[in-house]
Structure 1
Amino acid sequence: MLKFIETFKNDEDGAVTVDFVVLTAAIVVLGLLVGAAVSDGARGLANSIQNSLGNQADAVDSTPLP
């Protein structure tokens, strides 16, 4: 029984698992934060491009034919 307790006390597999779980969770949260920050900028850029293309289409439509 004493040998089992000594082995259990010296076993570090559980600590390594906890470290990996915490690091993985941190990476996932960081990825979500970066994705949210990038999506706002991408949405703004897409709206700007849409407006520019709409203005160009209006200019082409209003051009008189020769």
Structure 2
Amino acid sequence: MKRLLKQFYISDDGAVTVDWVVLTAAIVGLASVAYVTIESNTNTLSSAIGGAIGGQNDF
């Protein structure tokens, strides 16, 4: 049992896995926030351009 606990204590594979999971979750979260921001601003810009084009008169 002591040998198993000592081997578990020395092994750091679990800690590295947790680090990668946290980093991946952070990247996915930041990408989601960026996507929502870009989508919202693009829709607003598209509406403004459509309104400007639609408001022009053909003379």
Q: How high is the TM-score relative to the length of structure 2? A: 0.84
Greater than 4 Å deviation, 4+ residue runs: none
How far is the alpha carbon of 1:35 from its aligned partner?
A: 1.3
Q: 1:23-38 counterparts in 2 under 5 A? A: 23-38=23-38
- Paired amino acid for 1:30: L
Percent of paired sites with the same residue: 37
Q: What do residues 5-31 of structure 1 show as CA deviations (whole Å, max 9, x unaligned)?
A: 322210000100001001100111111
Aligned length: 59
Unaligned runs of 5+ in 2: none
| Structure label with greater radius of gyration | 1
RMSD over aligned Cα, in angstroms?
A: 1.3
- The runs of 5 or more residues in structure 1 that have no matched partner are none
What TM-score comes out, normalization by structure 1 length? 0.77
Q: CA deviation at 1:3?
A: 3.1
